[in-house]
């Protein structure tokens, strides 16, 4: 009887321990940071995959964050290797990553990727970038390959989340409370005014960031419009002149630049004239006790406005990363409103009609 009890207890113990082992979860993890070969810059969106060393089976993966950091968890005890790849950089493989127990965390430290100069030299890019790109944290308008006139405002007229009214005032996600950066430097002007003073022909691309991170230190709550201007590397004198016309608007601009060694000079100007006409109708009732006062108007309106800007400046290139810029700008705008309206006034007893 005693032997039978001992045998039953042993079997029960085996069942319980087997069930516990089967239900055990693995939470081993590794982390690290991906940097350029010189260790000076973090690499974002690096593809990172982890494989089992025994059968080369893919276990998991991730991409690096904006600061180059990454983490992969849910790893069972075992031996692994890591592969990191990024366009334009030499792929990196890290072997002999051993997780010894289910909850072990292993820190790989800083991992550097060198530029793949050989593959870059062999690639010839023939296609143009699309006019509008949607990325994880921003929209990018590629302007450099387009024939453009007017100012930055004209480039934003047909962009999602941006609204431009007939006077050239810009709102981002329905708000005029946003920030404007020019080559990473915050503009001191009002957002719409800053955009109106930048000729479209001088712009390389525009980034629209509607959910900016803390690194931008945004003043505006609606987001950031970042203007990146062209860097003209051609030595000597160069220029461009544009004209544009339509049934209700006309525009023109020019840009001349002189590049000599480390010094660059530029001068640019733009002009925009807009005419907008239409019909207008309105009706209003005012109640005062038993009296009702009504006013009705209808007719034709005509709005006209122009905008002009003149900019000039110089740039001194200390090295590939440092420059000194001096820029000056002058501009203005005018608006004319004309209306041919007929007003009719009514109350309980009389009515009158007045043309203005």
**Same domain, yes or no: 191 and 254:** no
169 compared with 355, residue with greater pLDDT: 169
Residues in the chain: 356
Domain count, the chain: 3
- Looking at residue 18, its pLDDT comes to 41
Q: Residue 328 in contact with residue 352, Cβ under 8 Å?
A: no
Among 56-70, 204-218, 246-260, the range scoring the smallest mean pLDDT is 204-218
- Give whichever of 17-31, 63-77, 117-131 has the largest mean pLDDT: 63-77
Tell me the H-state helices in the chain: 2-22, 117-122, 152-155, 191-196
Distance CA(260)–CA(47), nearest Å, equals: 41
- Grade residue 17 by pLDDT with cuts at 50, 70 and 90: very low
Identify the domain containing residue 95 by its residue range: 23-118
Do 193 and 111 sit in the same domain of this protein?
no
Residues 194 and 264 in one domain: no
pTM flag (> 0.85): no
Kindly report, residue by residue over 241-290, the tens digit of the pLDDT. Answer: 777 777 788 888 777 778 787 788 888 888 888 887 888 888 888 887 77
What 3-state class would DSSP assign to 238?
A: strand
Residues 211 and 166 in one domain: yes
What's the longest Cα–Cα distance across the chain? Answer: 118
Three-state DSSP class for residue 116:
coil
193 with 260, same domain? no
How much is the pLDDT for 34? Answer: 93
In a domain, 4, yes or no: no
Residue 305 contacts residue 335 (beta carbons within 8 Å): yes
Close Cβ partners of 109 (under 8 Å, ≥ 6 residues apart): 32, 33
Last residue of a domain, one of 194, 229, 264: 229
Last residue of a domain, one of 229, 257, 290: 229
- Three-state secondary-structure class, residue 169: coil
Q: Which of 229, 262, 297 is the last residue of a domain?
A: 229
**Residue 317's CATH number:** 2.40.160
CATH number of the domain bearing residue 56: 2.60.40.10
Of all helices (H) and strands (E), which one includes residue 325? strand 323-346
What sign for the dihedral angle of Cα 86, 125, 232, 311?
Answer: negative
User: Quick one: 112 and 137 in the same domain?
Assistant: no
Q: Answer yes or no: is 235 within a domain.
A: no
For residues 40 and 85, membership in a common domain is answered with yes
């Amino acid at each position: 009887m005693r032997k039978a009890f001992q045998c039953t207890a042993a079997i029960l113990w085996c069942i319980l321990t087997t069930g516990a082992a089967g239900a055990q979860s693995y939470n081993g993890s590794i982390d690290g940071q991906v940097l350029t070969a010189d260790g000076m810059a973090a690499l974002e969106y690096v593809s990172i995959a982890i494989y089992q060393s025994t059968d080369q089976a893919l276990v998991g993966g991730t991409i690096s964050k904006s600061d180059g950091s990454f983490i992969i968890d849910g790893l069972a005890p075992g031996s692994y290797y890591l592969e990191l790849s990024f366009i334009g950089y030499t792929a990196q493989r890290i072997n002999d990553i051993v997780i010894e127990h289910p909850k072990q965390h292993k820190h790989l430290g800083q991992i550097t990727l060198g530029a793949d100069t050989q593959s870059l030299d062999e690639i010839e890019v023939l296609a143009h970038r699309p006019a509008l790109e949607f990325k994880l944290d921003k929209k990018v308008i590629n302007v450099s390959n387009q024939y453009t006139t007017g100012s930055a405002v004209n480039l934003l007229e047909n962009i999602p989340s941006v609204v431009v009214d007939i006077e050239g005032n810009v709102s981002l996600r329905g708000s005029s409370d946003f920030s404007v950066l020019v080559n990473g430097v915050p503009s001191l002007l009002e957002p719409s005014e800053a955009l109106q003073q930048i000729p479209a022909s001088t712009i390389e691309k525009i980034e629209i960031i509607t959910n900016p991170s803390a690194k931008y230190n945004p003043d505006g709550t609606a987001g950031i419009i970042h203007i990146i201007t062209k860097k003209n590397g051609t030595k000597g004198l160069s220029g461009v002149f544009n004209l544009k016309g339509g049934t209700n608007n006309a525009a023109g601009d020019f840009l001349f630049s002189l590049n000599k060694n480390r010094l660059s000079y530029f001068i640019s100007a733009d002009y925009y004239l807009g005419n907008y006409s239409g019909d207008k109708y309105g009706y209003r009732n005012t109640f005062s006790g038993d009296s009702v006062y009504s006013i009705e108007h209808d007719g034709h309106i005509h709005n006209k406005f122009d905008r002009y800007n003149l900019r000039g400046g110089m740039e001194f290139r200390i090295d590939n990363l440092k420059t000194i810029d001096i820029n000056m700008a002058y501009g203005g705008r005018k608006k004319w409103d004309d209306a041919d309206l007929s007003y009719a006034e009514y109350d309980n007893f009389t009515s009158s009609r007045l043309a203005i």
